[in-house]
Amino acid sequence: MIRDYLRKPPWLRKTIPTGLGVDKINGILQNTGLHTVCQEARCPNRVECYARAAATFLIMGPNCSRACTFCAVTAALPHPLNPAEPSLVASAIKEMNLSFAVITSVTRDDLPDGGAIHFASVIKAVRDLCPGIKVEALVPDFQGNEAALEVVIEAGPTVLNHNLETISRLYGQVRPGADYDRSLKLLHRTKQNAPQQITKSGIMVGLGESFPEILELFSHLREAACDILTIGQYLQPSKDHHPVVRFVPPEEFRDYETEARRLGFKAVAAGPYVRSSYQAEDLYRRALSPHLLGQAS
């Protein structure tokens, strides 16, 4: 197995931008004590997004109750919920002057509702302070709790995102504590409860999956009426995480995108550095405008 922290192929060499936006976002986070998944998950696009004054807010603390082997977010005893967090996130988004905000969370299996009420409170606070803003909620699986999911849906996110991450066969290695069918059911139930709700999911490749297995996953997502799909290369955060089995070449990502569009996804982004919330507003707008699907991701 190749370990990507030792050597990456040429197409994974990325120029790191700089700019005033980076300092501004870092300042807002330091002043508020808020977290971003960009930082906690060591996202390779972090500086690029910060430079564009974009960030994905990570709520309910920096510690996750699960220990997925692909993820750099700290697996530890979660912090108590901060009742001031909804207003802090809303104020930060207003200061950043965002028109589209992405909010996600750690998994909180320690809470009876998985943190759904808190998640909904953050969405409401953002909407109250920033009228007209569009909000993408990237949610955990709430352990299959349908009532918890309904709480978030009723908060009215513009996009309801839940990542499938990988194929069913690899869940035991990559996502212990999660369940492939449970995640699919979350997306399906969202559409059943709110047929007009735009849904989204994201996966990683390079973990040991085969091309046919990925196509099967696409079919499962479409059966759940998922609208938007992101596909990116898994990059190993440290030597203690799941190793990279293969670096997927750019042309294969193009093949995945072609197949996903053929199956009927309204918008698809596929590429080595694509991540679930990367250029999320652009993907949302493309999902609303099918004629834009032929444009580059």
pLDDT single digits (tens) 153-181:
999 999 999 999 999 999 999 999 999 99
| Assigned CATH for 10-292 | 3.20.20.70
What pLDDT was estimated at residue 56?
Answer: 85
Which residues touch 15 (CB under 8 Å, ≥6 apart)? none
**Distant-in-sequence, close-in-space partners of 289: CB < 8 Å, separation ≥ 6:** none
Task: Round to whole Å and give the CA distance between 264 and 48.
Answer: 30
pLDDT for residue 77 is more than 60: yes
Q: Give me the pLDDT at residue 257, please.
A: 97
| pLDDT band, very low/low/confident/very high, at 224 (cuts 50, 70, 90) | very high
Strand-strand pairing, 100-105 and 74-75: unpaired
pLDDT of residue 55: 72
Please count the CA atoms within 13 angstroms of the CA of 206 that sit on its side-chain side: 26
State percent of the chain over pLDDT 70: 85
Taking residues 40-56, report their average pLDDT.
58
- pLDDT for residue 29: 72
Looking at residue 2, what is its pLDDT? 40
Q: How confident is the model at residue 53 (pLDDT cuts 50, 70, 90)?
A: low
The single residue listed with the structure tokens 């509702």 is 113
pLDDT at 7 over 80: no
| Mean pLDDT in residue range 273-294 | 81
User: What gap in Å lies between CA 163 and CA 277, rounded to an integer?
Assistant: 10
Average pLDDT rounded to a whole number, residues 125-129: 97
Strand-pair partners of 104: 58, 138
**pLDDT > 90 fraction of the chain, expressed in percent and rounded:** 73
Radius of gyration of the chain (CA): 18
Name the band, by pLDDT with cuts 50, 70 and 90, for residue 295.
very low
pLDDT at residue 3 greater than cutoff 70: no
pLDDT at 35 over 50: yes
161 and 203 Cβ atoms separated by less than 8 Å: no
Q: Tell whether the model's pLDDT for residue 18 goes beyond 70.
A: no
SS (H, E, C) 156-179: CCCEEECCCECCHHHHHHHCCCCC
Weakest-pLDDT range from 9-13, 49-53, 147-151, 157-161: 49-53
Task: Please report, for the chain, the start and end positions of each structural domain, with discontinuous segments joined by +.
Answer: 10-292
